[in-house]
Structure 1
Amino acid sequence: MAVAAPISPSHIAIVKATAPVLKEHGTTITTLFYKNMIGAHPELKNYFSLSNQSSGAQPRALAAAVFAYASHVDDLAQLSALVERIAHKHESLNVAPEQYAIVGKYLIEAVAAVLGDACTPDIAAAWTAAYAALADVFIDREKQLYAAHAGWTGWRRFKVQRKVAETPEITSFYLVPEDGAAPLPGFKPGQYVSLQVFVPQLGHMQPRQYSLSEAPRGDYYRISVKRESGRKGEEVGVPGLISNLLHEKYNEGDVIEVTAPAGEFFLEPKKGEEEKPVALISAGVGLTPMVSILNSAVDAGSRRRISWIHGAHRTESRAFSAHVRDIATRAQDSNDKKISATFFVTAPEQKDVQGVDYHFAGRVDLAKVDPNGALFLDDASAEYFICGPYAFMKDMERWLVGAGVAAERIHLEVFGTGDQ
């Protein structure tokens, strides 16, 4: 992680001392911040998910991040994972260095407005210095990330070459550059791309991130998108805004804008690490980065042991299940047995055969999985990649930690607004 510019000891002391106050009023501050900043700079609407703004998830996440920074302002190494995730997200949205000054102005103004007389000149100066130091960390890291995609900066026009329904709810979009330039830049299996589309009812562009659901190839990128109905407590008023638009309005030949692949959630084959087993644990459409990881390992002839563990509500809602079963079956039939698959189905139907269509009824329960053959709990080098709803990922993480897995060997794909 980049090193922050020095902050004076007095400023550090003030920031740490005021951290509890920021925690208490954090969401109020960040809600006001977004309102004022976007009101003054409507062009920034293109950078933020309206769903996360409407639900309050974005202000809550920013408040949590600000509190975390204040608590560790004198030891940013504790936040390296969070900084890396945010930097990749910023890169994928084409955030520019000069935009940090805009954010800083409205964030400090919101702090002053909410705290009132409690925000003394010393407190304002300390937070201004702290923000400037953190902004430098992000600007430096994002500069490195942009440089890694030589020749590709900003949004690039891609054409939908193919549109394939994987399930009644999940559709794959095969994307190729509109200008026909090839080969496409590679990516690390598990990473995502940002895309943006014009939303007529909003009158502006909206971005979203989608995992690449295929191994790196030179001729196309593939994303697999779930149609979100908005039921079960999802964001009111704008459920699945972009996913529904893609499903209903974008067809073969249509154009969308895409940024270069990004993301810190990936499994990159490295020499000397092929003996480390990996468990890919997912729920619902969270399987998309796992397919990229699995296919990449198979294509590379990896000797790594891989366990696929997936949960879905119904068998018909599982994308790529036949593909995964075929890979696992071939591995078992070859006596190699390096790849296994375990399927959970919440609501099996009468036609579903246990042991054939699924292994366990109910939600994913790692206690039911072979502890050594599929979870590799007897191997202290094993890695665990988890993707799905946030609550699901945290449940899986807690179970693994409780089973003795070191936290640094567990990787979560946190797409949206972060650790709330």
Structure 2
Amino acid sequence: MSSSNGGPSLPQERKIVTEIPGPRSRELQERRKAAVAPGVGSTLPVYTVAAGGGVIVDVDGNSLIDFGSGIAVTNVGNAHPEVVRRVSEQVAAFTHTCFMVTPYEAYVAVCERLNALTPGDHEKRTILVNSGAEAVENAVKIARYATRRPAVVVFDHGYHGRTLLTMTLTSKNMPYKEGFGPYAPEVYRMPMAYPFRSELDGPATAAEAIDRITTQIGVHNVAAVVVEPILGEGGFIEPSPGFLPAIDAFAKENGIVFVADEIQTGFGRTGRMFASEHEGVVPDLITTAKGVAGGLPLAAVTGRAELMDAVHGGGLGGTYGGNPLACEAALAVFDVLESEDLPGRARRIGEVMLPRLRAMAGRLPQIGDVRGRGAMTAVELVVPGTKTPDPGAAAAVARACHERGLLVLTAGTYGNVLRFLPPLVIPEHLLLEGLDLLEEAFQ
């Protein structure tokens, strides 16, 4: 693996010159406390001045290895030169007109590319919005409008956003839902085929979910099922084989819209352009965001033309949706994903990481499970000898990684999962060094 180091052409090395966080970051943190609402958290309060390839550089001159990618956003690397070039040209031309007022070609071009890239050879349409949560909300709106049905089915451990509806769709209470109710109506939660914690296989779990949908909701009332092909915040859970195809087949047999939430899994992250492809699932609607525009805010709903065309004119949209700067960034990302074969790089990252993580699990009894695809991998930490979640261990290991200059993220319904999302352009020597630091942090 080589690296596109981004605009600053940063040295691809870990360099620790102060404690983490350093004195300048701590000064900024004090300013933040006086200015920023405390409800907005940060995984690691080091303040960034540059990032590219596989590193993040802070205000104190420390260079950290990035195993987070801004939560799966900078798949093509930070400040990729092609993203910088196209955005720079666009910002000099115009920054905003609102596509709903006077449109522009880049929006249309992004929709064309998403229609071509997403699974399935059926006729498609796309709308562009600002965030993953907004994309999921619009997918539900479209499904309800097209089917004239009210109910939405989601699954245990799923995460879909922080707005009222997507917070309702999300499983985990703290910190996402605590104190923010009452929630949106007509949302129903079904069991997820979670290999590490479920005794049932994929088809059996799907059969249980289908039975509950049939008896407790009534299939004629269900507009959509919304599911992540690999669960993100829920703990990088890859549903047991057969689960997703069975749910998809049931939905299609009963006029229910199958919505794949590919916001964290999309754009090469799992070794395919979209995670739905691993089991041959073709969603009716697919929601994307995060990795689509190299760090600029953009999200989309792409789906079957007959569903997308059902909504009346003016029923979909938003002031900033498909901003021209973000559209140009996305067009650059699409080109880079293909020209640099970033899904292939993601597969290589998995080939490096997963055997090392499994070897660690063989030596470290607190690692209960190792899982993932491509550059979306995780370890679940438990009390040794049990499956009891150990969120304290996950937090401690993450802290030890951060102190050594390795940025990692935690996840999971129980807060006991370490998740790894390196940029797809990370150099292999940094990937290996990061794994060494992780093992050191455990020990």
> Does the TM-score normalized on the shorter chain lie above 0.5?
no
Give me the TM-score of the superposition, normalised by structure 1: 0.29
Larger radius of gyration: 1
